[in-house]
Structure 1
Amino acid sequence: MPRKKDIVAGNFLKYDVVVLGSGPAGEGAAMKLAKSGKRVAIVDQRDQLGGNCTHVGTIPSKALRQTVSSIIRYQRDPMFQKVGEWKQFTMKQVLRNAHKVIQQQVDTHSRFYDRNNIDVFHGRAYIQDKSTVLVFSDDGLTESIICKQIVIATGSRPYHPQGLDFEHPRVFDSDKILDLDYSVHKVIIYGAGVIGCEYASIFIGLGLKVDLINTQPKLLSYLDDEISDALSYHLREQGVLIRHNEQIDHLETGDDHVVLYMQSGKKIKADAILWCNGRSGNTDGLGLENVGITPNSRGQLTVNEQYQTEVDNIYAAGDVIGWPSLASAAYDQGRCAGTNMSSGEKNVKPVTDIPTGIYTIPEISSIGKTEQQLTEEKIPYEVGQSSFRHLARAQITGDTVGELKILFHRDTLEILGIHCFGNNAAEIIHIGQAVMKSPKNSIMYFVETTFNYPTMAEAYRVATLNGMNRLF
Structure 2
Amino acid sequence: MTQTMTQPVTLTAPDFTYDLLVIGSGPGGQRAAIQAAKLGRRVAVVERKAVVGGVCIHTGTIPSKTFREAIMHLSGYNERGLYGASYAVKDDISMADLLHRTTSVIGHELDVVRSQLHRNRVEVISAEASFTGPQTVRLRDVRGDGWRDVTARHIVIAVGTRAARDPSIPFDGKRIIISDDLLKVETLPRTVTVIGGGVIGCEYASMFAALGARVTLIDKRPRLLEFVDQEIVDVLAYQLRQNRMTLRLGEAVRSVRPVTDHLGDRVRVTLASGKEVTSDLVMYAVGRVGVTDRLNLEAAGLGADDRGRINVNEHYQTAQPHIYAVGDVIGFPALASVSLEQGRLAACHALGVPTQSVPQLFPYGIYTIPEISTVGKSEEELTRAGVPYEVGKAQYREIARGQIIGDQQGTLKLIFHLETRELLGVHIIGSGAADLIHIGQAVMAYGGTIDYFVNTVFNYPTLAECYKTAAFDGINRLGGDPALEPKLEPAADVGAVV
Identify whether the pair has TM-score above 0.5, normalized to the shorter chain: yes
Cα distance change of structure 1 residues 81 and 267 upon mapping to structure 2, 3 Å threshold? closer
Is contact 1:332–1:351 with CA below 8 Å preserved after alignment? no
Cα distance change of structure 1 residues 74 and 415 upon mapping to structure 2, 3 Å threshold? closer
Does structure 1 residue 421 correspond to structure 2 residue 429? Answer: yes
Is contact 1:306–1:350 with CA below 8 Å preserved after alignment? no
Q: How many residues align?
A: 463
2:126 & 2:359 partners in 1: Cα distance? 29
1:69-468 residue pairs with structure 2 within 5 A? 69-70=72-73, 71=75, 72-74=77-79, 77-78=82-83, 81=87, 83-87=89-93, 89-90=94-95, 92-136=96-140, 137-254=142-259, 256-343=265-352, 351-439=359-447, 441-468=448-475
User: Helix, strand or coil for the counterpart of 1:83?
Assistant: coil
Q: CA deviation at 1:125?
A: 1.5
Does structure 1 residue 66 correspond to structure 2 residue 75? Answer: no
- TM-score (norm: length of structure 2): 0.89
Q: CA deviation at 1:220?
A: 1.1
Q: CA deviation at 1:76?
A: 5.2
Cα distance change of structure 1 residues 402 and 282 upon mapping to structure 2, 3 Å threshold? same
User: Helix, strand or coil for the counterpart of 1:334?
Assistant: helix
User: Helix, strand or coil for the counterpart of 2:373?
Assistant: strand
CA offsets, 1:127-178, max 9 Å, x none?
2222222222152124432222211000001011211222352111111112
User: Helix, strand or coil for the counterpart of 1:178?
Assistant: helix
2:361 & 2:87 partners in 1: Cα distance? 42
User: Helix, strand or coil for the counterpart of 2:237?
Assistant: helix
Cα distance change of structure 1 residues 328 and 236 upon mapping to structure 2, 3 Å threshold? same
User: Helix, strand or coil for the counterpart of 1:343?
Assistant: coil
1:247 & 1:38 partners in 2: Cα distance? 51
User: Helix, strand or coil for the counterpart of 1:284?
Assistant: coil
Identity %: 40
Coordinate RMSD, CA, aligned: 2.3
2:49 & 2:165 partners in 1: Cα distance? 21
Q: CA deviation at 1:73?
A: 2.8
User: Helix, strand or coil for the counterpart of 1:470?
Assistant: helix
2:367 & 2:168 partners in 1: Cα distance? 30
2:464 & 2:123 partners in 1: Cα distance? 43
Is contact 1:339–1:348 with CA below 8 Å preserved after alignment? no
2:44 & 2:340 partners in 1: Cα distance? 17
Q: CA deviation at 1:375?
A: 2.1
User: Helix, strand or coil for the counterpart of 1:376?
Assistant: helix
Is contact 2:170–2:256 with CA below 8 Å preserved after alignment? no
Cα distance change of structure 1 residues 268 and 313 upon mapping to structure 2, 3 Å threshold? same
Q: CA deviation at 1:45?
A: 1.7
Is contact 2:169–2:257 with CA below 8 Å preserved after alignment? no
> 2:359 is matched by which residue type in structure 1?
V
Structure 1 window deviating more from structure 2 (204-213 vs 252-261): it is 252-261
> 1:330 is matched by which residue type in structure 2?
S
2:186 & 2:82 partners in 1: Cα distance? 29
User: Helix, strand or coil for the counterpart of 1:96?
Assistant: helix
User: Helix, strand or coil for the counterpart of 2:351?
Assistant: helix
In the other structure, the counterpart of 1:43 is 46
1:411 & 1:275 partners in 2: Cα distance? 46
CA offsets, 1:317-341, max 9 Å, x none?
0000111100011111111110110
> 2:110 is matched by which residue type in structure 1?
V
- TM-score (norm: length of structure 1): 0.93
> 1:81 is matched by which residue type in structure 2?
Y
Cα distance change of structure 1 residues 9 and 185 upon mapping to structure 2, 3 Å threshold? closer
Is contact 1:184–1:271 with CA below 8 Å preserved after alignment? yes
Cα distance change of structure 1 residues 202 and 41 upon mapping to structure 2, 3 Å threshold? same
Cα distance change of structure 1 residues 9 and 210 upon mapping to structure 2, 3 Å threshold? closer
> 2:254 is matched by which residue type in structure 1?
D
